[in-house]
Amino acid sequence: MLPDDIAELRQLVDLCRNSLTVRSWLFARFANQSVTQAAFRTTLSGSAKPEVVARLWSSQIAEMVFARPKASTSERGAYGGLSRSRILLLIARHQYELTDLKTFLLVRLWIRCVAVRGRCFPANLCRITLEHWAAMMADGEGQFLRNALNAVRFFHARINRTIGEVDFGPHNSWKIHLLLHILDSPKPCYRVSELQAGLPAKYRHVAPRAIRRFCRHCGIRRDTRPGRRPISDRKASRDFSDPPVGGTRSGPPLG
């Protein structure tokens, strides 16, 4: 185990080796400009105003470096009240049901980086992995660690082929297709019959009750207005109903 100060210096060396941007800024602006040095000191103290931070880099870069993560879960949008990014997040979450989304995506990124980059890893990936590792160590039940192991086994078992619908099982496949339909057809709200009709033929046996429950769980708004449905909706619902006994359909008397 290295002393903290030595480990920190080693981390700085690795960062400078991997980042041309950091090297250029450190050797040129910070080393030669007293204004940059003073601005960086103030920034490290946490009391820097935007105009001070802007002396370090361009205002656009400074804004991105010090921006806080946005809460995307409360985003509202044109897809049944959800945003496009929220629908994409739900699709990714239902693609693999044995682990939480963040662990699944981190394992996927690490396996790709190990295969392509060897021992040189992006700084942003290392940072978010360290934060997630802290959450894993705080999980006394060990669920995060089991999730990571499941994800590692999942990807290594499919290392030389494309991962598709068959890998996720029938339980979640119809949900992914329903979300894809919503992504292709933005509306303020959706009728259950429309969502059912938008599924591939092999999933149209899914009960309306299950679709309603799924929409409620995900926060997708449903069209619950009373009255007759549009002709397209009525036609779609007839495709899922059983034919009448005797092959005839009752109706008003003729004449």
Domain ranges of the chain: 17-65, 76-95+168-224, 98-167
pLDDT of residue 241: 42
Residue 123, both tokens: 């700084």
Contact 71, 85 (CB under 8 A): no
Distant-in-sequence, close-in-space partners of 238: CB < 8 Å, separation ≥ 6 = none
Average pLDDT per block of 10 residues along the chain, 255 residues long: 86 89 92 91 82 80 73 67 86 68 83 78 84 90 87 81 63 84 92 92 90 93 72 46 40 39
Radius of gyration of the chain (CA): 27
Contact 136, 145 (CB under 8 A): yes
pLDDT of residue 255: 37
Residue 219's closest CA among 73, 21, 43?
73
pLDDT of residue 70: 59
CA atoms in the 13 A half-sphere facing the CB of 62: 15
Which residues pair with residue 77 across a beta bridge?
81
Residue 44, both tokens: 């490290």
Instruction: Tell me which residue has tokens 């990124």.
Output: 109
Cα angle for residues 13, 16, 19 (degrees, 5° grid): 150
pLDDT of residue 242: 40
Contact 24, 57 (CB under 8 A): no
